[in-house]
Amino acid sequence: MIIEALIAVTFLAALVVFVAPNAYAAKLAAALSVLPILGSLWMWAAYDASGNALLGGEIAFETDFVWLTVGNLDLHWFVGVDGISLPLVVLTTVLTTLAIVSAWTPISERQSQFYGLMLLMEANLLGVFTALDFFAWFVFWEAVLVPMYFLIGVWGGPNRRYAAIKFFVYTNIASLVMFIGFIALVFGLGDSVSSLRLPEIAQALRADELAGFAGVDAATLKTVAFVAIFLGFAVKVPIAPLHTWLPDAHVEAPTPVSVLLAGVLLKMGTYALLRFNFTMMPDVATALVVPIAGIAVISVIYGAMLALAQEDLKRIVAYSSVSSMGYVILGLVAYTTYGVGGATFQMIAHGLISGLMFMAVGVIYNTTHTRMVGDMSGIADRMPITAGIFVAGAFGYMGLPLMAGFAGEFFIFKGSFASTVHSAMPLFTAAAMFGIVIVAGYLLFAMQRTLFGPFSFDDDYEVTTAPFHDVAPLAVLLLLTIVLGVAPDIFFGMIQDAVNPILTGGGL
Amino acid sequence: MTLDVIALQSATTAAWTALAPAILLGLTGLALLGIDTVWPDEPSNALLAGVAAAGSLVSFGVTGWLLVAGTGQASTGGAISLYGDALVVDGMSLFFTLIFTVVTAMVAVAAYDYLEDHSHRAEFYSLVLFAATGMALMATANSLATVFISLELASLPSYALVAFLKTDRGSVEAGLKYFLIGAVSSAVLAFGISLVYAVTGSLVLGDVAAAIGNPEMAGVLGLGVLMILGGFAFKTASVPFHFWAPEAYEGAPAPISAFLSSASKAAGFAVAFRVFVQAFPLDAVPAGVDWVVAFQVLAVVTMTLGNFAAATQENVKRMLAYSSIGHAGYALIGLAALTAGGPNGDVLGASMAHLLVYGFMNTGAFLFIALVEHWGVGRTFEDYNGLASTAPIAAVAMTVFMFSLAGLPPFGGFLSKYILFYSAIEAGFWWLAAVGAVNSALSLFYYSRVVKAMWIETPVADFEIETRPVGLYAAVIFAGVGTLLLLPGFGPVIETAQTVAATLF
């Protein structure tokens, strides 16, 4: 029942904050959001599962009962975590609290609604990562969009309406495509499944129980459904060329919302890809390895090139997320313990580091009111601590050893280079590695121009040290990044345990 | 016949109790008129609203109790037939009565604030209650004669209610238009009934079904069936008899728009379901009289036309009116996806469950409009700009209604639509479900415009909200909570609906 309690407490917190007076909302939200952190840490400490939740492994904190019956299918309330989802649950709770604290400075209007929506989003995100029944999962999956739409649309920048609508429409159409693909699979499975529980469907699909549906034979149905589901999630990840909503959403969203968007919402896409496409249909995934690895490499290189061309610090970080998510896809398609495990680890690492980068940009923006690289120089002179953390975070992004980003990328490269799913995998890996060079290029270039050199700033704002509550979340994130880089086994052990049953044919 | 005997043996006592919901509604209407007679110079608004709401809530409670107790259902000996088969009380009639009574209660509570500055309040409440009585009888009508009479009982008060704001040109015009189209469609219905009677020699649904396999007169029968279908299309605001709906919903007082678009539409479906399934069963009708095809065409055209027309509106109330036509199209899937021997109970039950959820979300949306009209805010999307900052609670409720109507997952409307489309696929009509799903996705466009206006846009003009009308707020919040709770609590609803629907076949 701990998962229900976790979600319920977060929902209640959202409700309380929503009706609280604006003056207290910020502090109240931060205080209440500590409760889910405690819950998730307790879950981590008491975690006792093994194997993959979808493939017959033992599920931790499981509850399962019938919610309602449709025709001959039962819809269940079925939640639980395994080694893949638990780290994401912890990431969600920690990052939400830090994002809430980082919102104290920039958010000055309608605070209670803002913080209420942040907590509401957290509750739904927790649902996404813990639900193991397709229906319950889909409800949470879509429910995440609603608060996000408002958070961008109400508190965003000058072009917020366009960005909010674009985000909403892109991701909703993607969900519809994915939904149709999945339901076609369920109809194809016919009587071999009696509910929409993901484990049941995953096992039936892996046992080749798929039959044709509506005049389409099983093999075609599976491939078409795989592509539909893949495209649906690819928008969320996002994978080039379906990424165009992301820069708009990030640039317009207020900093704390960007933190959650990059830190957790993008992971919904990769998490779902892993759970659905790569766990349920490994045969199609390995058959389509060339196109998938191809777009992964394109995302890496193209995303990095786009980041290189930006003048807006936030856009730089936003595009670099496209690049980082490309690595995750490459790791997933490798089907090796280090590839898939590394991809899962990279989700956490990227969640922390991209959150750190967005927050650092936000802290600088709070005092300078600009994010344009050309508008400022020598910021380190006035904001030494923020600049220091910014530099450390950027090095984490570039993959400095002993930081989480290094561990994630190293695992992925190790896994994908050794992969035997296709003879060209080493080539794809080698091509993707060039992404790191470009990342180093644009981050160093941007830092050199904004942080270092003689101080100059065109506007009248006084550039001074950031307040403590702005810097504290940055420091916490940096600390977590280093801790996870030094001791990746905090999560990597359970991740590997959970991904090993997925692997077929990839070798080690 | 044995069933009838069993029913009759216990009927002497059971008859009254089984019809109690309709009787209670009728008595409440009479009581309201009585109050008006005792205090002829404007009786207290609170008293009238209280009596009307209490009457419909008691009726709601009794209906719920009867439904749970299994009255008229398989567990207690099947449908209870009354007055020589003219009326029948079964699970379906009780399920629909549940919708009518809860909507009536919400409308009565909301009307308390809406009617504050109006005269003739007692007439208003009693007409609402009489219309509700007619609807409850429509759900029980088991003979084409009672179908016609109860349909008129529901319609005639509605005409007067639409034209209630008699100094307002829009309201009067709407009432006239509604009345004229209603009169025409009543005539068409009556003519259709007479043709069916000519072929089968009976008006009782069961006898019609028994006599229907007469191939000589298939042409006349087909014409009769088509005309009856036209009569129901009027009541459910389906294409091609939908022209009255946008004007009537826009011109009528907003609580009445809520009442007509939720309860009255559901009543139309109740009677259509029973008449078509029981009087013209698919395995008995002659080959030429394939009414399922007619409903398929109607469903597709109705949902597409409703949605596209709604997308082009600038006036929120009118947009809701067209969206209500679109939802009639979804509900028509319940009849359009029937096959001889298919999972018919599932399809029809899913449609009934959708109408119940729709009763909450659509009533809530129209009552929110009533609230906005009460404040004197304009009617277009732009006029709604920034409402969320002045009235956040009501705006949250409206957001729930809009997203639920659009079928977004966290709300009741998603589940009911999903199950409706799912059962259509199960019955083999995947293309019907596909048209429905595409329309549903399109509908997000115009529903989200309302949400965007309320939350994201900045207000064009300053407006002060002076009052927080208790009744309207209570009704809107009640509908919102209902819409939310119907997501986790949908299990018993859909199970009941599909079980009672299955007994019709």
pLDDT tens digits, A194-233? 888 999 999 999 888 888 777 788 889 999 999 999 999 9
Mean pLDDT, residues A283-299: 92
- Dihedrals φ, ψ of B285, to 5°? -65, 145
Q: What is the pLDDT of residues B128-157, one digit of tens each?
A: 999 999 999 999 999 999 999 999 999 999
Q: Are B264 and B104 in contact (CB under 8 A)?
A: no
CA distance A506 to chain B (A): 37
pLDDT bucket at A457, cuts 50 / 70 / 90: confident
Is A69 near chain B, with CB under 8 Å? yes
Give the best residue of A7, A146, A152, A213 to mutate against chain B (max B CB count within 10 A). A146
First to last CA, chain B: 16
Token pair belonging to B371: 């609230």
Judging contacts by C-beta atoms under 8 Å, the chain B residues touching residue A139 are 409-410, 414, 487
Instruction: Check whether the bond before A21 is cis (ω within 30° of 0).
Output: no
Other beta carbons within 10 Å of A177 = 19
User: Is the Cβ pair A139, B456 closer than 8 Å?
Assistant: no
Chain A, nearest residue to B409 by Cα: A139
The full 3-state SS of B438-490, as one line of letters, equals HHHHHHHHHHHHHHHHHHCCCCCCCCCCCCCCHHHHHHHHHHHHHHHHCCCCH
Beta-carbon-side half-sphere exposure of residue A323 (alpha carbons within 13 Å): 30
CA distance B455 to chain A (A): 7
CA distance A159 to chain B (A): 12
User: Is the Cβ pair B491, A67 closer than 8 Å?
Assistant: yes
Instruction: Check whether the bond before A238 is cis (ω within 30° of 0).
Output: yes
Nearest to B409 among A142, A164, A168 (CB): A142
**Residue A44, Cβ density class (10 Å: 0-12 exposed, 13-18 middle, ≥19 buried):** middle
User: Is the Cβ pair A139, B419 closer than 8 Å?
Assistant: no
Mean pLDDT, residues B312-327: 91
CA distance B65 to B486: 19
Give the best residue of B347, B401, B452 to mutate against chain A (max A CB count within 10 A). B452
Judging contacts by C-beta atoms under 8 Å, the chain B residues touching residue A151 are none
User: Is the Cβ pair A138, B494 closer than 8 Å?
Assistant: no
pLDDT bucket at B7, cuts 50 / 70 / 90: very low
Q: Are B173 and B110 in contact (CB under 8 A)?
A: no
Chain B, nearest residue to A69 by Cα: B491
Is A1 near chain B, with CB under 8 Å? no
Is A172 near chain B, with CB under 8 Å? yes
Q: What confidence score (pLDDT) does residue B412 get?
A: 86
Token pair belonging to B374: 């009460």
Helices (H), A335-381: 337-368
CA distance B181 to B158: 13
Nearest to A146 among B410, B437, B441 (CB): B410
Q: Are A144 and A265 in contact (CB under 8 A)?
A: yes
Nearest to A150 among B437, B455, B457 (CB): B455
pLDDT bucket at B2, cuts 50 / 70 / 90: very low
Is A186 near chain B, with CB under 8 Å? no
pLDDT bucket at A26, cuts 50 / 70 / 90: very high
Helix (H, G, I), strand (E, B) or coil at A88: helix
Other beta carbons within 10 Å of A230 = 27
Q: Are A413 and A499 in contact (CB under 8 A)?
A: no
Nearest to A69 among B455, B456, B495 (CB): B495
Judging contacts by C-beta atoms under 8 Å, the chain B residues touching residue A141 are 409
CA distance B147 to chain A (A): 31
CA distance B398 to B408: 14
CA distance B361 to B342: 30
Instruction: Provide the 8-state DSSP code for B79.
Output: P
CA-CA distances (angstroms) from residue A49 to A125, B304, B498? 21, 50, 39
Q: Which residue type does A352 have?
A: L
DSSP string, B360-383: HHHHHHHHHHHHHHHHT--SBTGG
Helices (H), B236-314: 244-251, 254-259, 265-274, 291-311
pLDDT bucket at B462, cuts 50 / 70 / 90: low
Residues 18-57 on A with a CB inside 8 Å of B are none
Q: What confidence score (pLDDT) does residue B133 get?
A: 94
User: Is the Cβ pair B343, A154 closer than 8 Å?
Assistant: no
Least confident of A352-356, B53-57, B444-448: B444-448
Please say if the pLDDT value at position B9 is more than 50: no
Is A164 near chain B, with CB under 8 Å? yes
Q: What is the pLDDT of residues B174-203, one digit of tens each?
A: 999 999 999 999 999 999 999 999 888 889
Helix (H, G, I), strand (E, B) or coil at A78: strand
Judging contacts by C-beta atoms under 8 Å, the chain A residues touching residue B346 are 71
Non-local (6+) Cβ contacts of B39 within 8 A are none
Chain A, nearest residue to B497 by Cα: A70
The domains of chain B are located at 291-505
pLDDT bucket at B461, cuts 50 / 70 / 90: low
CA-derived radius of gyration, chain B: 22
User: Is the Cβ pair A153, B455 closer than 8 Å?
Assistant: yes
Dmax over Cα atoms in chain A, in whole Å?
71
**Residue B156, Cβ density class (10 Å: 0-12 exposed, 13-18 middle, ≥19 buried):** middle
Mean pLDDT, residues A287-296: 93
Q: What confidence score (pLDDT) does residue B392 get?
A: 83
Count Cβ neighbours within 10 Å for each residue of A462-488 and write b for 16 or more, e otherwise.
ebeebeeebbebbebbbebbbebbeeb
Mean pLDDT over all residues of chain A?
90
pLDDT bucket at B25, cuts 50 / 70 / 90: very high
Other beta carbons within 10 Å of A369 = 12
Q: What confidence score (pLDDT) does residue A507 get?
A: 46
pLDDT bucket at B3, cuts 50 / 70 / 90: very low
Q: What confidence score (pLDDT) does residue A129 get?
A: 95
List residues of chain B with CB under 8 Å from any CB of chain A.
343, 346, 389, 392, 403, 408-410, 414-415, 419, 422-423, 425-426, 430, 437, 441, 444, 448, 452, 455-457, 487-488, 490-491, 494-495
User: Is the Cβ pair A139, B487 closer than 8 Å?
Assistant: yes
User: Quick check: pTM over 0.90?
Assistant: no
Judging contacts by C-beta atoms under 8 Å, the chain B residues touching residue A216 are none
Q: What is the pLDDT of residues A402-416, one digit of tens each?
A: 888 899 999 999 999
Please say if the pLDDT value at position B6 is more than 80: no
Q: What confidence score (pLDDT) does residue B109 get?
A: 92
pLDDT bucket at B158, cuts 50 / 70 / 90: very high
Please say if the pLDDT value at position A450 is more than 70: yes
CA-CA distances (angstroms) from residue B478 to A17, A321, B397? 22, 44, 9
Q: What confidence score (pLDDT) does residue B132 get?
A: 95
CA distance A221 to A228: 10
Q: What confidence score (pLDDT) does residue B438 get?
A: 87
Helix (H, G, I), strand (E, B) or coil at A77: strand
Q: Are B59 and B96 in contact (CB under 8 A)?
A: no
Q: What confidence score (pLDDT) does residue A41 get?
A: 94
Highest mean pLDDT among A337-351, A445-459, B158-172, B233-247: A337-351
Q: What is the pLDDT of residues A88-134, one digit of tens each?
A: 999 999 999 999 999 998 988 889 999 999 999 999 999 999 999 99
Please say if the pLDDT value at position A292 is more than 90: yes
Judging contacts by C-beta atoms under 8 Å, the chain A residues touching residue B452 are 153, 161, 164-165
Least confident of A308-312, B14-18, B278-282: B14-18
Q: What confidence score (pLDDT) does residue A381 get?
A: 84
Q: What confidence score (pLDDT) does residue B448 get?
A: 87
User: Where does B43-158 show beta strands of DSSP type E?
Assistant: 80-82, 87-89
Mean pLDDT, residues B12-30: 83
User: Is the Cβ pair B456, A164 closer than 8 Å?
Assistant: yes
Q: What confidence score (pLDDT) does residue B14 get?
A: 61
Judging contacts by C-beta atoms under 8 Å, the chain B residues touching residue A164 are 452, 456
User: Is the Cβ pair A139, B488 closer than 8 Å?
Assistant: no
Q: What is the pLDDT of residues B395-404, one digit of tens each?
A: 889 999 999 9
First to last CA, chain A: 36
Q: What is the pLDDT of residues B329-383, one digit of tens each?
A: 999 998 998 888 778 888 999 999 999 999 999 999 999 999 888 888 888 888 8
Chain B, nearest residue to A156 by Cα: B456
CA distance A369 to A145: 28
Please say if the pLDDT value at position A74 is more than 50: yes
Nearest to A154 among B343, B456, B490 (CB): B456
Judging contacts by C-beta atoms under 8 Å, the chain A residues touching residue B491 are 66-69
CA-derived radius of gyration, chain A: 22
Least confident of B34-38, B42-46, B219-223: B42-46
Mean pLDDT, residues B266-288: 87
Count of A-B CB contacts under 8 Å: 65
CA distance A69 to chain B (A): 7
Q: What confidence score (pLDDT) does residue A504 get?
A: 66
Please say if the pLDDT value at position A54 is more than 80: yes
CA-CA distances (angstroms) from residue B491 to A66, A68, A76, B486, B494? 9, 4, 11, 9, 6
Non-local (6+) Cβ contacts of A175 within 8 A are A138, A141, A142, A145, A232
Q: What confidence score (pLDDT) does residue B5 get?
A: 44
User: Is the Cβ pair B346, A160 closer than 8 Å?
Assistant: no
CA distance A71 to chain B (A): 7
CA distance B376 to chain A (A): 25
